[in-house]
Amino acid sequence: MLRKSIQIVLLCLSIPNAFAQLGFCNGNSGDPIIRETFGAGTTNVALPPGTTTYTFANSSPNDGFYTVSSSTNWFGWHDTLDHTPDDTNGRSLIVNADFTAGEFYRQTISGLCENTSYEFSSWLLNLLPINGCNGNGIPINVKFQIWDVTDSNLLASGDTGDIASTATAVWQQFGLTFQTLPGQTSIILKMVNNGIGGCGNDLAIDDIVFKACGDNLEIVDDNNENNIVTCSSNTPFNTTLTVIPDFSVFSSHNYQWQDSDNGSIFTDIAGATNQTLALNNVVATKYYRVRVVEDIVNLNNPQCAVFSAGFVVFIVQQPEPPISNGDVINCAGETNSISVAEAVDTSINWYDAPIGGNLLLAESSSFFSPISGIFYAEAVSQVINSNCASPTRTAISITYGASPIVEDEELSFCENGAITLDANIQNVTYLWSTGDTTSQITVNEAGLYSVTVTNAEGCSSTKNIMVSQREIPIIGSIVSDGNAIVVTTENTGDFEYSLDGLIYQLNPTFFNVEGGLYTVYVRERNGCGSTTEDYLHFWIPKFFTPNGDTENDTFDLKGIEFYNHSEVYIFDRYGRLLIKSKNTRFSWDGTFKNQPLPTSDYWYVINIDGQEFKGHFTLKR
């Protein structure tokens, strides 16, 4: 995130280097006069002649040998990377210390300034793990020395003390400061083995740095701030910077102000050699620092100068107003939020007014309100302390609307017909499940239909209409069950039944029907059609009572006359033929030879169109 990166930049520019060990420069330093990183690569290389008293080894270095390598994976040592940041296959100086003292490293430095303080530092690593040599490994111990160019006068010296083994690889930095003498412009720096030989005393050396050392130099503005973060809406920006030395090293100070567009490449500002620097009409991010020397003749000599902590005027670009994702209409049951498109490195604050007002919600690209209203989104830069907000706020509304009220229906239509479906609501738009957009549609198939109606507020409701088809009745069968006629249909529906086409009943069974030829009527009760079928109803009575009361006085076989061929034979219990009939109506009064027969069971044989019926009936008096 930009916020994090800006914080890091400001922190690095505002805090001078600080080290835990004694011997480091307590003030500000100059650019490195030398920086030895030992390069990078997967092959081992040797140091230039005279750099060390140890013997070069092209592979693993034994006691008294060294190599410059990107690997430390020998003798059970820590297998680790070099110290130089961002190195790929970075090398370091690997030394297997000898039994006798020797110089790990030596370098002559010329072109220095007299009466000037310098710092000599290096990073060291004990290569032996804590359990190496059975836990009794010899620690490393290195002496840092500064000699005059004749190598006869020791100018400064310091020991690291014992650096013990560790469970994991741990790089440690050590430093030494000194001041050149009058007339002294060259020195020799050395790192010397203080340890004894044996198991242990194996080390890696990396990032040797030599640089000028001076006062602690702080830059502040008119408000005594170390850095400025402001919005582009506040530009052009004006202030005055002042560099403040602490006189810990220098007794006098000479200045050269520098600026940079990126914080890494600085150039001198012409004529800016005072303790203060007036900044006028700054409109873009700019970095500043001061090169300081004690003697003005050394002002342009990079080997004598130190640099102040950096000062940045960070101009944050004012964000554009947020882009609305549209007003929102919430209908019944909906809880949709309003929102805006959130630009990179900005956050969104919501207010109840276009200017000022109350902050309703911070750092959210969306906002929800349970009531209707207009709300205002403001884009704010995420760069800390910039106070940089969009010039205007974006207005977006939430509206709560009422959905149309609809009622579902169940409708039916006649077979081979059609029906018109109606949404039954006005002043809305329509969208049927058929794709139609009218208030009514006509359909001729059964099924579930729906229509979504939307009002002017954009709220919708859906009405469902279940449509069924009323079928024309189809007679499946007509049978006689005793003196009853039973009608069965092949399909189902709201049917009613009749034997005369005038009087209808819901029951498909007609009871106590005299034999005869009938027309059976079946119709759909809602007027969807009817069907008829002629039926010859014939049944044989179980008894008759020829007692003169006009009720059931004869044994009648009504309807038999409608068959093409019929024969009837009546017998008494002894098999005597009492009466017979052929191809005509049949009615018997219970007499034989004009004499009434007694109460008894009598037997019949009836042939109708080749079908024979046998049985008995009772004559009761």
pLDDT one-digit tens code per residue, 271-327:
999 999 999 999 999 999 999 998 898 898 888 899 999 999 999 999 999 999 999
Decide if 547 contacts 588 (C-beta within 8 A): no
Q: Band of the pLDDT at 27, cuts 50, 70, 90?
A: confident
Residues 319-370: pLDDT tens digits?
999 999 999 999 988 999 999 998 999 999 999 999 999 999 999 999 999 9
Mean pLDDT of 408-425: 95
240 band by pLDDT with thresholds 50, 70 and 90: very high
Band of pLDDT at residue 129, cut at 50, 70 and 90? very high
Is the pLDDT reported for residue 19 higher than 50?
A: no
Predicted local distance difference test score (pLDDT) of residue 23:
79
Q: Does the structure show a pLDDT above 90 at 245?
A: yes
Which CATH number, 2.60.120, 2.60.34, 2.70.98, 1.10.3470, labels domain 31-212? 2.60.120
Judged by DSSP in three states, 428 sits in coil
CATH code: domain 217-316 is 2.60.40.10
* Residue predicted with more confidence, 377 or 383: 377
Between the alpha carbon of residue 504 and those of residues 180, 471, 500, 508, the distances in Å are 133, 18, 8, 10
Residues 403, 330: Cα–Cα separation, whole Å: 10
Q: How far apart are CA 379 and CA 386, in angstroms?
A: 13
Distance of CA 573 to the CA centre of its chain: 99
Rounded to an integer, the average pLDDT of 123-148 is 94
| Reported confidence tier of residue 1, pLDDT bands at 50, 70, 90 | very low
pLDDT at 621: 86
Nearest alpha-carbon partner for 524 in 502, 491, 500: 491
Least confident window among 5-9, 103-107, 158-162: 5-9
Is the model's pLDDT at 17 over the cut of 50? no
Residue 5 — pLDDT band, cuts 50, 70, 90?
very low
Assess contact for 257 and 272: CB atoms under 8 A.
Answer: yes
Rounded average pLDDT over 150-163 = 93
Residue 21 in this model has a pLDDT that exceeds 60 = no
d(CA 143, CA 159): 4
Burial of 86 (0-12, 13-18, 19+ CB in 10 A): exposed
Bigger pLDDT: 31 vs 68: 68
Q: What is the per-residue pLDDT for 2?
A: 36
Residue identified by tokens 């567009």 is 261
Region 155-159: what's the mean pLDDT? 93
pLDDT the model gives residue 11: 33
Report the percentage of the chain scoring pLDDT > 70: 96
Please state which CATH number belongs to domain 543-619. 2.60.40
Q: How far apart are CA 321 and CA 328, in angstroms?
A: 19
- Using DSSP's 3-state secondary structure scheme, residue 378 falls into strand
Q: What is the pLDDT of residue 20?
A: 29
Mean of the pLDDT values across residues 197-201?
Answer: 84
Give the closest residue to 93 by CA, choosing from 60, 122, 69: 69
Residues in the chain: 621
Residue-by-residue DSSP string for 382-419:
-STT---B-SS-EEEEEEE-PPPP---EEEEEETT--E
**What's the Cα-to-Cα distance from 101 to each of 30, 106, 255, 298, rounded to whole Å?**
33, 14, 45, 39
Supply the CATH classification number for the domain 323-400: 2.60.40
Extents of the domains making up the chain: 31-212, 217-316, 323-400, 409-465, 475-537, 543-619
pLDDT at 100: 75
Q: How many helices (DSSP H) and strands (DSSP E) are in the chain?
A: 1, 50
Judge whether residue 10 has pLDDT over 70: no
pLDDT level of residue 7 (50, 70, 90 thresholds):
very low
* Three-state SS letters, 308-334: CCCEEEEEECCCCCCEECCCEEECCCC
Q: Write the pLDDT tens digit of every residue in 426-437.
A: 999 999 999 999
Judge whether 31-212 and 217-316 match in fold: no
